[in-house]
Structure formats: C-alpha cells, structure tokens
C-alpha cells in the first residue's frame, strides 16, 4: 500500500462519512461500520478504500479484524450512541449499553491496533463532544461516557507519548441523523442551520492529520457560531 492507511469507525453516515471523504484524497481508508450495504455506499465515494465491517462491541470480532492490519497511520473513533433523559428516567441497561459502545469499544479497538499504530508512529483521534467537557441536565448517561472518553484519550496520550499521537475533538451539536434523533427526544423541531456541518468536524480531523510528526493537536473544542 503506497498510501498511508486510516481506519474510521462509524463511517457509514454522518460525521464518520464526512471524515472518510476528507481523508480519502491522501489515505487508503478502512470504512468501519456494522451495515455492509451502507459501508459499500461510503466506499463507492472514496478514491481508495476497503470495508471494515465489524461489531465493535464484540471483542473477539474486533481482535480478528485488527489482526490483519500490520500498519495503521490514523485511527478515528467516530462511532457512538446517544442518550437523553434524567437519572430517574435512565436504566441500568441504558448505562451499560452507552458506556460499552462509547468507551469500552474504542478502548478495545485501540488496544488491538496499538502494534500497528506504533509501527507507523500513528495518530488516534477520538470524536468526543462538548458533553465530554461539560454536563447538563438530562445528559448524565451520554456525558458520563464522553467524560470517560476524554480520560481514555488523556491517559493513552501519556502512556504512548513519543510512540503515537492522540487527539480529542469536542464538537458541539452537528447536523447529522443522530441530531434528528436528539431533537425528537428533546421535543424540539430539527433545524440543521443551527448546528455544525459534518464537514467542519472533518476539517478539524484533517488539521490534526496534516500536522508535522513533531507536533500534536491534543484537544480541540469546535462550536457552532
């Protein structure tokens, strides 16, 4: 492979697809997701790509998929679940599911790919959220998962300093299908002009990727104006 290799999870739609498109001009992109048909749709848009179809909550499947990757220049964690509601309304199952998908799955995939990332002196980018910096009423489950993701990124950066770089991106609300779902949960009318375009987040990813190897963008907050 003459191109550097990037793996983007959640790349079948929304922010993940925008990131895959932004990286495809320079990278061979492994398009991560669960739905093979939607992954194929994204792959068809890219200059150089391959599917990475795996359930990130399945540790054995993740290990098997990662085993075939010997070198990885960029790993972007964009897959995730959203939750909204008060603590009184939440359930243990909801807490377990959101934390598993938003925190445990990125940790599992990153651990499996550390050898490949070290070979490339690569970059790990966590697409976090403003909720990973500040929590508000009704956002306890989601914010807890994103605060934990911030901690994961910070600790990984300290552990792998000099071997790989680690970036946390904290976008505000983004105009994606997930945002439509959130507006429904909040009882609001969805108005995409209020939110960030997914391409704005993708441009921030490119900023981190395009830095020279001696520089690291550790954390960046991106907000709609």
Catalytic residues: 142
Distance of CA 205 to the CA centre of its chain: 10
Alpha-carbon distance 183 to 75, whole Å?
29
**Structural Rg of the chain based on CA atoms:** 17
Euclidean distance between CA atoms 18 and 21, whole angstroms: 5
- 165 CB-contact burial (10 Å; exposed 0-12 / middle 13-18 / buried 19+): buried
- Centre a 10 Å sphere on the Cβ of residue 19 and count the other Cβ atoms it contains: 31
What own/partner pairs with CB < 8 Å and gap ≥ 24 does 98-103 have?
98/141, 98/142, 98/145, 99/144, 99/145, 99/148, 100/57, 101/56, 101/57, 102/142, 102/145, 102/146, 102/148, 102/149, 103/145, 103/148, 103/149, 103/152
């Amino acid at each position: 492979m003459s191109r550097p290799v990037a793996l983007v999870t959640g790349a079948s739609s929304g922010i993940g697809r925008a990131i895959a498109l932004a990286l495809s001009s320079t990278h061979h992109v492994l398009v991560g997701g669960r739905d093979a048909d939607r992954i194929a749709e994204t792959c068809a848009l890219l200059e150089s790509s391959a599917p990475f179809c795996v359930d990130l909550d399945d540790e054995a499947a993740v290990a098997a998929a990662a085993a075939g990757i010997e070198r990885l220049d960029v790993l972007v964690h964009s897959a995730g679940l959203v939750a909204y509601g008060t603590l009184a309304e939440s359930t243990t199952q909801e807490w377990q599911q959101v934390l598993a998908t938003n925190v445990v799955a990125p940790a599992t995939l990153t651990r499996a790919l550390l050898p490949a990332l070290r070979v490339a002196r690569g970059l790990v980018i966590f697409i976090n959220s403003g909720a990973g910096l500040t929590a508000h009423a009704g956002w306890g489950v989601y914010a807890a998962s994103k605060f934990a993701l911030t901690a994961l990124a910070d600790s990984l950066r300290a552990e792998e300093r000099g071997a790989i770089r680690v970036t946390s991106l904290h976008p505000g609300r983004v105009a994606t299908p997930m945002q439509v779902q959130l507006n429904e949960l909040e009882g609001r009318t969805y108005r995409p002009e209020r939110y960030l375009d997914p391409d704005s987040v993708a441009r921030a990813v490119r900023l981190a990727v395009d830095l020279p190897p001696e520089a690291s963008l550790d954390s960046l907050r991106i907000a709609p104006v």
